[in-house]
Structure 1
């Protein structure tokens, strides 16, 4: 297991609403850094120990059905878990705002490099100009696999995340990945295998479109194998830069998995993220149109090994995203195989 990182949740008391209001300039639009199913996330700054600290404040929209349950589920999960690849929670707030309305928020360490989704895809009219290298993507995949291995095998009760996707993977200043957003997670006992505290989970289909395993669609309970499926889709997305909901999959090709499977029979490099392959094909490793993030500090993959590297990665992704849960790998196997790939190609 990866070395645990002590949580600060026990060192900080619950923070009052007025302090969060002040830290975020009244939850101003300029401090809004993201939004999700149950609320919005703001950047905040507060003084502690003689210094100023940047935090991320997730404010629950309590008018949305399931938001309160999401808050309780996340608190319950984050109270007991410790791992370097999970988003560290600092404290929470369950109070009233200045108008006397119920207010609930979670306070996390701020992640300087945002979420993985913004690194993989262009947003609005912008284009991607800074590209994660092959090794950086592999390291992020290893980080996420390590976090899931911990949640599935080293927690009691075990945790099923239920909503693994790029926007729920946050990157710190060193581009180390941290899995976050446990709002619809499930807790399961290792001994009896049954859900614990089902009342803390949200109702309905468990996950996000494109990442939900097929068995959930026919009523199967959330399971660690469901997380493995989501990880498989995530891994394919990381190296193709294609979302599982891409319009490309409305035609002859029905899914991201089918898209990758077809390429394995032909030319694997053709489906690799175009900006990444442009970097690999450049004689200096860098395309004149894009900047490879921190490329000077990393050893890039040798040209002769490119095909086999992507073949290895895509095979793991496809196995994890198998239709049958029983055909999928366990996350401890995934972690082991990804580490082998790193050792083989980046020795």
Structure 2
């Protein structure tokens, strides 16, 4: 393992939230460096920590890696991925009772189906002798499309054992997000075996996709269980501006593209509305967009300045962002590891340390420096 002397202080960024805008930048006395744990990764999309000290890592290209005892080992039997644009092998999580049942869950873009192209799929499997076994396809969004954007996809279990996952609207904003009879632009909820819970909000709606839990989403690439409230928090990419943090509620409509704080990439208006009755407002939104990916609540005592706050990766600005919380309100933003590279994922490990997946670099451990 190599320690990079990349010691950086960080500063609070300007932000807009709840119609407030604060352009001040507050310096912090806390500084951070990082230690490279797993090197030579291209696009490490997701990571999961095993009870025996190993780490499972997904590479967007389709490789699943086991890192254990300082060595990388390839896992065979990974499903074929539709590696196009933002799609590929994406998130990976363990079942809450992994030590008893051995299930892991993988999200990936799949070309399975009649149409050309691909769409997001969810699989569960077990790892035995460095091979995926007992593979079960739990969900496959339809229809396939050759568009390369907005596959999602993050996954999280809640405290009752339900499994949530996100699928982006696949570049069809005027068709998919607001239509519950269509996949895409949704947060879904399943039982751990892939069956649909009987109390899902649309199970009795004619032609509705029964796995849908909330709708009106653009492209959520962050999802986590709040350790105290038990709520599912997500963040999602806006267009030009308007990235959001949302707390997921049953049957709720999060508005895309009827309401947004963002613009078309050309700078033209998508809609004049930023809020409407019957649609959920985000608890926070970013202008300009940071292109968020990965999210972690910090509960560890190893980082006193970070504890009880939120970490979010920035693909666009290539840093790790600290969002300081008061309840559900972001009251301050700070930049960590500025310039490290495109941050794809961030997780708190079982040992209490923060691990960050950085494109073109690998998996690094966050180190708080003594002053």
- TM-score normalized by structure 1? 0.29
- In terms of fraction of residues, the more helix-rich structure is 1
- In terms of fraction of residues, the more strand-rich structure is 2
Larger radius of gyration: 1
- TM-score normalized by structure 2? 0.27
